[in-house]
Homo-oligomer: A and B are copies of this chain.
Amino acid sequence: MTTSRVLLSVLTVLVSLATDAQSQTSNRPHKTTANDSEAEIKALYDRAAKAFEARDIDGIMSVYAPGDAVVAYDIVAPLQYKGKDAYRKDYLEFLAQYDGPIHIEYRDTRILSSGDLGIIHALERMTGKLKSGEQSDLWLRATSVVRKIHGKWLIVHDHISVPVDFETGKAVLNLNP
């Protein structure tokens, strides 16, 4: 084997190693699957909305991380719901206020993700008939944090609210985007 042939074969190995390193780097989940992640997070939110519209509490809770991983700041008191069990009770109380179907609509949705972390925030319109007979049509603000846990995106944090008017001390329930 001549020196030049050895050099050639070693260079071939070098190029192959470099190409391999490059391809490993570009295959990292945060690089190539950001769009996939965002589509998955959108699908998770859509699934949650459908379960909510169907008043299916198990369907709703299936989008949340287990145990104490969930910390939720809901539209109603207390300041925070710690853990899935506490948040489930809150959902049941909320759903019990409505009579018949509820309709959910999102606007100005933004989804961001990197690796196993994602966020989604949107304006959310919730319409339905309350048990009092009153028709409710309410725009909320919703922010959720999701993590990919054992290959599945699950919500670990919710923040749901309406703005308030400090002069009157009232919640502002008649806003439109």
Hey, which bits of chain A sit against chain B, CB under 8 A?
1-3, 6-7, 10, 13-14, 17-18, 21, 25, 30, 71, 73-80, 97, 108, 110, 112-119, 121, 123, 139, 141, 143, 145, 147, 156-157, 159, 161-166, 169-173, 175-177
Interface majority SS on A: helix, strand, loop or mixed?
A: mixed
Cβ contact of A159, chosen from B30, B159, B165, cutoff 8 A: B159
Cβ-defined partner of A30 (8 Å) among B30, B78, B177: B30
Q: Which 8 A-B pairs have the closest CB atoms?
A: A161-B161, A114-B115, A114-B117, A164-B171, A73-B141, A77-B163, A143-B159, A10-B10
Kindly report which residue of chain B lies nearest to residue A158, judged by CB atoms: B143
